[in-house]
Amino acid sequence: MELSLTDEQAMIRDAAADVLAERSASADVRRALEHSAGRDDALWATLAGELGWNALALPEAAGGVGLGALEQVLLMEQLGRRVACVPYLPTTCLAATALAQCDAPAAHAWLAKIAEGACSATLALPLDMPFAAQPFPFVADETAGGYALSGVADFVIDGARADLLLIPARIANEARSVGLFAVDVAAVSGIVATPLDTLDGTRPIARVVLDDVRVTRDALLAGRDAASVLDRTAWFAVLALAAEQLGGAQQCLDLTLDYTGQRVQFGRAIASFQAVKHRCAQMMVLIESARSAVLGAAHAWDADGGATPSAALRADVAAAKAAANDAYAFCAQEAIQLHGGVGFTWEYDPQLYFKRAQASGAQFGTTPQLLEWIAGHAIGDVATNGRDDPTAAFAHATRPSAARAGALQ
């Protein structure tokens, strides 16, 4: 069956593929790694400013186009296919998703800047949310003029280069209260952001330390509803990262097909060998399964519309990320193996995708975390109906929702 994309959605996908094939080719990625710490500023200026990618899914009131999760997922897939060295994930999928849920005037002002490509942003969200609950590492102390923020976050995506830091912090003297604060990096002092040496150099991560960083009261974007804002943002990050992984897996297959079609042994291209065909076919099966899950979850996200994702939607998103984790890890590994003795070398691209696959598989839901969440919540759902068979429970959680089924028609 063919996944149902509208003509407009197909145009978005194809245009993104064309732009990134030209502007984020292997040489461009390697140049960003070697000379600008994994950030391609020229490409970011093109995508965020000239082409308006940041505005795609933002509200029209903030200068956005007002499209949905599916369109954003299509962009993420193409960005992942080219391991593009731009802060699209932290700016639009994390920070902008959180800002769009806040009613504070400052949130609308920052959204407008993001929409026009005038700034990059990130959210200091633990990378194992929403599957491993833990206290937020920042504390906000009330002052005469606003708040003083202190704390340490060890792993913040693009934390060393972002213009705007969104900081979830426990508000002192208010039991179990978490606020979401906007920190304009250029306007305050007391921030130390240290880039980390990580496996995947195409996605910079930093250790961010706030030492008595003073912000005004307007910087508090969400108070009582901050927890729900962060929860919904974390779940969208799961979906967006799954889409990026899907694109990376697809490129691993494409690179492998191209190489095996040219590599000759015993007088024939190795792509003609049955064993190679079988391994490429297994890559394709995992990719198509992940694509159905990811696009189906994106359809479900747009259809859900609630401030808090429903249990069925969360199950769809978790299943999509688990499928994408496995597809990307397998395809990156097979790409290296089927490139033979050169597959792991710096000169060939599979190593770039292998590193991204390993890193993204550990962020916003490892496969064990995702499957444990699905099984645990499904068992509770099935038990409510008087059944306690774990096998039936797992099947119940992973069966296609109505929205996902619609995506396959």
Calpha distance 252→333 (Å, rounded): 9
Calpha distance 237→223 (Å, rounded): 21
* Mean pLDDT (whole number) for 200-208: 96
* Mean pLDDT (whole number) for 360-389: 75
Query: Under a CB-based contact definition with an 8 Å cutoff, are residues 283 and 363 in contact?
Result: no
* Mean pLDDT (whole number) for 209-224: 95
pLDDT at 70: 96
* Mean pLDDT (whole number) for 42-57: 96
Between 405 and 25, the higher pLDDT residue: 25
Question: For the segment 93-114, what is each residue's pLDDT rounded down to a tens digit?
Answer: 999 999 999 999 999 999 999 9
Peptide bond into 168 cis (omega under 30): no
Q: Which residue reads 């000169």 in tokens? A: 347
Question: For the segment 301-315, what is each residue's pLDDT rounded down to a tens digit?
Answer: 999 877 788 999 999
Radius of gyration of the chain (CA): 22
Q: Is the pLDDT of residue 407 over 90?
A: no
* Mean pLDDT (whole number) for 7-17: 96
Question: For the segment 248-268, what is each residue's pLDDT rounded down to a tens digit?
Answer: 999 999 999 999 998 888 989
**Choice among 151-155, 262-266, 398-402 with the minimum mean pLDDT:** 398-402
CA angle, 227 as apex, 367 and 151 as ends, to 5°? 85
Average pLDDT, the chain: 90
Query: Under a CB-based contact definition with an 8 Å cutoff, are residues 160 and 204 in contact?
Result: yes
Q: Is the pLDDT of residue 383 over 80?
A: no
Q: Spell out a b/e string for 280-303, using b for 16 or more CB atoms within 10 Å of the CB, else e.
A: beebeebbeebbbbbbbbbbbbbb
Between 174 and 41, the higher pLDDT residue: 41
Could you tell me which of 176, 159, 163, 153 has the C-alpha nearest to residue 223? 176
SS (H, E, C) 347-383: CCCHHHHHHHHHHHCCCCCCHHHHHHHHHHHHHHHHH
Name the pTM for this structure: 0.91
Model confidence at 225, pLDDT cuts 50, 70, 90, reads confident
Residue percentage of the chain with pLDDT more than 70: 90
Query: Under a CB-based contact definition with an 8 Å cutoff, are residues 174 and 333 in contact?
Result: no
Question: For the segment 318-347, what is each residue's pLDDT rounded down to a tens digit?
Answer: 999 999 999 999 999 999 999 998 988 999
Q: Spell out a b/e string for 131-143, using b for 16 or more CB atoms within 10 Å of the CB, else e.
A: beeeebbbbbeee
Q: Is the pLDDT of residue 400 over 90?
A: no
Could you tell me which of 144, 157, 42 has the C-alpha nearest to residue 89? 157
pLDDT at 379: 54
Q: Is the pLDDT of residue 389 over 50?
A: no
Calpha distance 52→26 (Å, rounded): 23
